[in-house]
Amino acid sequence: MAELIAKSALAGQEPVSHGGVSLAEVDLVQITSIAPFIGQEKAVAAALKPLGLAFPAPNTVSVIGKTRLAWTGRGQAFLIGVPPGDWSAIAACTDQSDGWAALALTGVRAAEVLARLVPLDLRAMGPGSCARSSLGHMPMILLGVPDGFEILVFRSMARTAWHELEASMRMLAARKAL
């Protein structure tokens, strides 16, 4: 019988750097969608308290160490880094870990690289911010981190996202080299 081996969406893809910007795959370990049931928002807030997190306001990320709770839409957030407790009575919790791929785009010109592909004003996005938007034609969740961005795309689109980002990096590097 064949033995299956779990691989990441970008298995074998080495990090790249062009023009002072780096692109690498990120292992977020665990991603769980948390959607409080109607009337259970306070119960979810109480369940998050032991983790040191608060349910995030729109376009923000609540962060404690390597654990994050990122706003992903009205009444929904992604818990990143740790599994939730048993919240089945207060929220719809679904494991999203295998459905998403995460990319880190870092460097002083990371926003310039993304500006070619993302219809947002990235100047306002710093650490602790997030946005639901598109990367070219692909849906994405964009998280601001201290030295750039983390980009979450559907696993099935990970290689296309990588290709688009690397092409943008190369174009920016070539333009700056002139």
Please choose, from the candidates 36, 28, 44, 23, the residue with its C-alpha nearest in 3D space to the C-alpha of residue 99. 28
Using 50, 70 and 90 to split pLDDT, how confident is the model at 152? very high
Alpha carbon distances (Å) from 143 to 17, 53, 115: 20, 17, 15
Domain ranges of the chain: 16-28+98-177, 31-95
pLDDT, tens digit, 9 for 90 and up, residues 66-99: 899 999 999 999 999 988 888 999 999 999 999 9
Residue-averaged pLDDT of the chain: 92
- For residue 46, give Cα distances in angstroms to 88, 95, 128, 159: 14, 21, 21, 39
Alpha helices per DSSP H over the chain? 41-48, 110-115, 158-177
- 112-123 pLDDT tens trace: 999 999 999 998
Q: What is residue 177's predicted lDDT score, i.e. its pLDDT?
A: 63
What is the model's pLDDT at position 172? 92
- Amino acid identity at 176: K
- How confident is the model over 10-55, as pLDDT tens digits? 888 899 999 999 999 999 889 999 999 999 999 999 998 888 899 9
For the domain bounded by 16-28+98-177, which CATH number is listed? 3.30.1360.120
Does the pLDDT at position 57 exceed 90? yes
| pTM confidence score | 0.91
Of the candidates 33, 24, 46, 114, the one whose C-alpha atom is nearest the C-alpha of residue 78 is 33
C-alpha–C-alpha distance, residues 85 and 67, integer Å? 14
Q: Which residues pair with 134 in a beta bridge?
A: 139
